[in-house]
A and B are shown apart, each in its own frame.
Chain A
Amino acid sequence: MNTPALALTGEESAMLAGTRGAGTAMAMRLVTGLAGVLGATRLIPITGAHIDGCLYHGRAGLDFARKLVDLGATVAVPTTLNVSSLDLMHPGLVRLPPTEAVPARALMDAYTALGAKPTWTCAPYQSVQRPGAGEHIAWAESNAIVFANSVLGARTERYGDFIDICAAITGRVPEAGLHLPANRVPTLELDCSGLSASLLAHDAAWAALGDVVGRRSGTGVPLLTGIDPDLVDEDKLKALGATAASAGGVALFHVAGVTPEALADAPAAPESLPVERVTAAMLRAARDELTTAAGARALDAVALGTPHFSLPEFEKLAQALADAPAFHPDCTVWISTSREVLARARDAGFVQVAEARGARIVVDTCTYITPILAPDTRTVMTPSGKWAWYAPANLGVDVVFGTLGECVASACAGEVIRDDTHWS
Chain B
Amino acid sequence: MTPTGPNTVRGEALAARTLTPGTGTGPLLVLDEPLSFWGGTDLQTGVITDPHHPQYGTSLAGRILVMDASRGSSSSSSVLAEQLRAGVGPAAIVLGARDAIIVLGALAAAELYGTRLPIVLADGPVLERLRAAAPATATVQATADEAIICTAIIGTEGAP
Q: Chain A residues in contact with chain B, CB under 8 A?
A: 26, 29-30, 33-34, 37-39, 52-53, 55, 57-61, 63-64, 67, 140-142, 145, 157-164, 177, 218-219, 245-249, 292, 389-390, 392-394
Contacts and interface: CB of A to CB of B under 8 A. Distances in A.
20 contacts: A33-B103, A34-B103, A37-B100, A38-B100, A52-B75, A55-B78, A58-B82, A60-B112, A61-B82, A63-B112, A141-B73, A141-B75, A142-B73, A145-B74, A160-B101, A161-B81, A163-B104, A218-B34, A218-B69, A394-B39
B108 A60 contact: yes
Nearest to A394: B39
B85 A393 contact: no
Nearest to B48: A393
A162 B111 CA distance: 11
Contacts of B79: 57-58
Contacts, number: 133
B40 to A, nearest CB: 7
Chain A interface mostly: helix
Contacts of A247: 72
Nearest to B70: A249
Nearest to B52: A389
Given A60-B108, A142-B72, A246-B73, 11 more contacts: A30-B107, A33-B107, A64-B108, A159-B74, A163-B104, A246-B36, A389-B39, A389-B52, A390-B39, A392-B51, A393-B39
Contacts of B112: 60, 63-64, 67
A61 B108 CA distance: 9
B76 to A, nearest CB: 6
A218 B35 CA distance: 12
B10 interface: no
B82 A59 contact: yes
Contacts of B103: 33-34, 37
Given A37-B98, A162-B107, A249-B69, A60 B74 contact: no
A162 B82 contact: no
B51 A393 contact: yes
Interface residues of B, number: 41
B71 A249 contact: yes
A58 B43 contact: yes
Contacts of A393: 39-40, 49-51
Given A34-B104, A38-B100, A162-B105, A246 B50 contact: no
Contact of A158 (B20, B49, B100): B100
A64 B81 CA distance: 10
The list of the 8 closest CB pairs from A to B, nearest first, reads: A160-B74, A58-B82, A60-B81, A161-B78, A57-B78, A161-B77, A160-B77, A162-B108
Report which residue of A30, A37, A162, A177 has the largest number of chain B beta carbons within 10 angstroms of its beta carbon: A37
Contact of A162 (B20, B36, B50, B78): B78
Contact of B111 (A30, A34, A161, A164): A30
B109 interface: yes
B74 A29 contact: no
Contacts of A161: 74-78, 81, 104-105, 108
A177 B34 CA distance: 19
B30 interface: no
Nearest to B84: A60
Contacts of A160: 73-78, 100-101, 104-105
Nearest to B144: A36
A145 B85 CA distance: 27
A307 to B, nearest CB: 12
Contact of A57 (B34, B40, B43): B43
